[in-house]
Structure 1
Amino acid sequence: MASRWFASLPNFITLGRLVLTPVAIVMISEENWRGAFFVFVLAGVSDALDGWLAKTYNLQSELGAVLDPLADKTLIISIYVTLAILGEAPVWLAILIVFRDALIVGGVSVSWFMGRPIKVRPHIASKITTAAQLTLAALILGGLAFGFRLTVLEGLLIASVATLTIASASVYLLLWVQHMRP
């Protein structure tokens, strides 16, 4: 019994991250910056922990392969859209992040609809992009939580996140076009 529970632990942690997302968004909306920062950090740690457990103990599952990126995208999109609405992150950056993820989901959906399903695997460009997006969000939330903004560093990270988001979208678009070629 314990081994079944342990085998599902990465998925339970991922589900916990999904549950933490609306909690963080409510805290951001209420400008409870410290609470939002700590919930966001907890969500980030949960992402690292579920991945480490899955790989270390060979607990990867089909459900986890779908849930983990879903939890990541839900957290990132929700955070950036909310921060942009409150004027704490550039609106254009939030739009770019949402567009990239919509492009990926749309490509996968079209592939399935056309009877040419594409295997969804995270590309290294996507992993680097996600790490940069999480880092920038943490920096913004941390600055708001502790009363200091590192504007030069934020500016550099905004440029990096934008560049990486465009590069990652381009990689996925290229892979999709190659996959869909007759």
Structure 2
Amino acid sequence: MNLANRITLVRIFLVPVVMFFLLIGHNFGTFTIGTLSITYNEIIATIVFIIAASTDGLDGYIARKRKIVTNLGKFLDPLADKLLVSAALISLVQMQRLEAWIAIVIISREFAVTGLRLVAAADGQVIAASALGKLKTWVQIVAIVPLMIQNFPFEYIGFPFTTIASWAMVIITIYSGYDYFAKNRKVIRYS
């Protein structure tokens, strides 16, 4: 297994670590800034999430630079992204920081695009990740981080970043899903 695929596997293995620290019943302590109290669990989960998310570009860069792009990597990379984002969204719903319908819309889009790719693969076609799909992933990550730490630091200036970011996440997710289906409608038409 090459280095790029190992990095992708690390991202997958960090998913339960993020969930553990977000959802564990025991609180390791609290960090208080003014009226905002963030648990150490949330801080640790957020740091691990950021580390995991930052490996997304790294594994692809290494694979392309070293010319070690593999079918396993093509499979694992989007899977790792979907697992990381879906796990964070589901955890945030359980923590009552995100409305369930937002997680459902986002996860449904992931299943739909994955289904489209499977239909295309059955016909010997590959649907590569689009720039819009990659932008969608990064918008989701940027929205999830402040949700994990209670809208810090935006809470201090009264800026509803998490609300705006959640809507941006939904809109870009729906639009990128539409884009995949619009550009690949022939896959469905001839299946």
When normalised by structure 2's length, the TM-score is 0.81
Deviation at 1:111, TM superposition (A): 4.2
Residue type of the alignment partner of 2:138: A
Provide structure 2 residue ranges, at least 5 long, that are not aligned to the other structure.
Answer: 28-40
Range with bigger deviation, 24-33 or 160-169: 24-33
The residue correspondences of 1:148-163 to structure 2 (distance < 5 A) are: 149=155, 152-163=160-171
Q: Distance in 1 between matches of 2:67 and 2:150?
A: 38
Q: Distance in 1 between matches of 2:124 and 2:110?
A: 18
Q: State the Cα deviation string for residues 53-85 of structure 1 (Å, max 9, x = none).
A: 122222222111111100000000111011112
Q: Distance in 1 between matches of 2:4 and 2:13?
A: 14
The structure 2 residue matched to 1:174, chosen from 165, 182, 186, is 182
Q: Distance in 2 between matches of 1:159 and 1:148?
A: 16
The structure 1 residue matched to 2:21, chosen from 13, 18, 27, is 27
Give the structure with the higher percent strand: 2
Provide structure 1 residue ranges, at least 5 long, that are not aligned to the other structure.
Answer: none
CA contact (8 A) 1:116 1:180 kept: no
1:119 aligns with 2:126: yes
Q: Distance in 2 between matches of 1:36 and 1:56?
A: 31
Q: Distance in 1 between matches of 2:57 and 2:118?
A: 28
The residue correspondences of 1:11-160 to structure 2 (distance < 5 A) are: 11-30=5-24, 32-112=41-121, 115-143=122-150, 149=155, 152-160=160-168
Residue type of the alignment partner of 1:140: L
Deviation at 1:12, TM superposition (A): 0.3
Q: State the Cα deviation string for residues 121-161 of structure 1 (Å, max 9, x = none).
A: 101111110010011111222437x6874651112111111
Q: State the Cα deviation string for residues 90-109 of structure 1 (Å, max 9, x = none).
A: 21110111110111122233
Match of 2:33 in 1: none
Range with bigger deviation, 149-158 or 120-129: 149-158
Residue type of the alignment partner of 2:85: I
Residue identity (%)? 27
Q: Distance in 1 between matches of 2:105 and 2:4?
A: 30
CA contact (8 A) 2:89 2:98 kept: yes
- SS of 2:102's partner is helix
When normalised by structure 1's length, the TM-score is 0.85
Query: Alignment length, in residue pairs?
Result: 173
Residues 28, 148 of structure 1: alpha-carbon distance in 2 compared, 3 angstrom cutoff: farther
Q: State the Cα deviation string for residues 28-52 of structure 1 (Å, max 9, x = none).
A: 1126201101110110122222122
